[in-house]
Amino acid sequence: MSDPVCTVAKADAVPSAGQTQPLVISNAARLEHILRALPSGVIILDAKGRVAEANPQACSMLGEPLLGQSWLQVIGRVFQPRSDDGLEVSLKDGRRLKIAISALHPEPGQLIVMTDLTETRALQHRLHHLQRLSTLGKMMATLAHQIRTPLSSAMLYAENLTNSKLAAAQRGQFQQKLVLRLQELEQQVNDMLLFARSGSAQAVQPLQLSALLQLFQERSETLLMQHHARLQLTAPDTEVQLLGNTQTLCEALLNLLQNSLQACTEPCLFRIEARLRGTELVLLLSDNGLGIPDAILPQIFEPFFSQKAGGSGLGLAVVQAVLQSHHGQISYLKPAQRPAGTLNGACFELRLPCLAADLIPTAQEIAYV
């Protein structure tokens, strides 16, 4: 028997030519049974944007009344979009729905299918949190070893500097080496902090690609001057908007620059080219160094993997964690995989979802009929 409030079958079905009334009733009953059994919420809007039909799951998700209500009224009563919704939409009770909208050709109106992803996202978050705790545990186990060498060296150089009989030339050498060891310590601590932060909740907001690249230019200027390196930036003519944490993304880019500066045997040229590919922003980062040997490519994103003396092995792991926390990806491109315009050394492709009104199901878009 049909639900008195949320019905899923039209009562005025008329048999077409060649059909019998019992067959039409049987088909309608079968359709009603299928819609009631679906785990997703299903809503049909008429040509005026009013809810004509809804299955029980839709009523459970959105509450009542539904039938006869304007979809705009339902949105105002139930939906509360948040800044981190992405391709999902939040309800006022905290649940998150994935919504698909399609036209009812050849009839006027629209079909709305809603899938509740609240539990799925919660399970994914808990799993990710446990994985992060496991990785952070390994990090703490290796922390003493990672810091001991540069710290011991720094203490030795600092102790030598207290010698009043030390020659001026030696004093300058010890001072320089002390600064280098302290910079190693600072880099390792920064990597660990960034790796830890990338797995936790961060303040995110809409940001423009141009602002991110401008911040990167400002923060990389001293580093480039110290290594006599050059930076080349290319961006789309149209402004690209993302959803994320500007500081964290900038630090990830600086990590890649640091890797290139350490790998280049000649004055480094570091190139960033930003491209739009569908709904994604693609950042191609390349240098004129020696590249990465194929033999170690499967390991380069593993935490603590490093072939550099004194390296923390967290640089690329940090970048990957930051990209994943922004629902993005990073991959290393071999020479045969690279588009024209990239340099011949190392080349990484970073992909981030764009934030645009025509790509995200906002309340206004959901209401479109």
* pLDDT, position 38: 83
Instruction: Indicate whether 366 pLDDT > 70.
Output: no
pLDDT band at residue 32 using 50, 70 and 90 as cut-offs: confident
Over residues 216-226, the pLDDT tens digits come to 999 999 889 98
DSSP state of 312: -
| Tens of pLDDT, residues 193-214 | 766 666 555 567 889 999 999 9
3.40.50.300, 3.30.565.10, 2.160.20.10, 3.30.70.60: which CATH number matches 200-369?
Answer: 3.30.565.10
Instruction: Judge whether 21-116 and 200-369 match in fold.
Output: no
Residue 43 or residue 359, greater confidence: 43
What are the tens digits of pLDDT across the range 72-82?
989 889 888 77
| Domain limits, the chain | 21-116, 119-197, 200-369
pLDDT of 14 reads 46
* Cβ 187 vs Cβ 315: under 8 Å: no
* pLDDT band (50, 70, 90) for residue 288: very high
Among 85, 49, 48, 68, smallest CA distance to 6 is for 68
The pair of structure tokens assigned to 211 is 């602002």
Beta bridge partners of 45: 51, 110
CA distance 276 to 66: 40
CATH class of 21-116: alpha beta
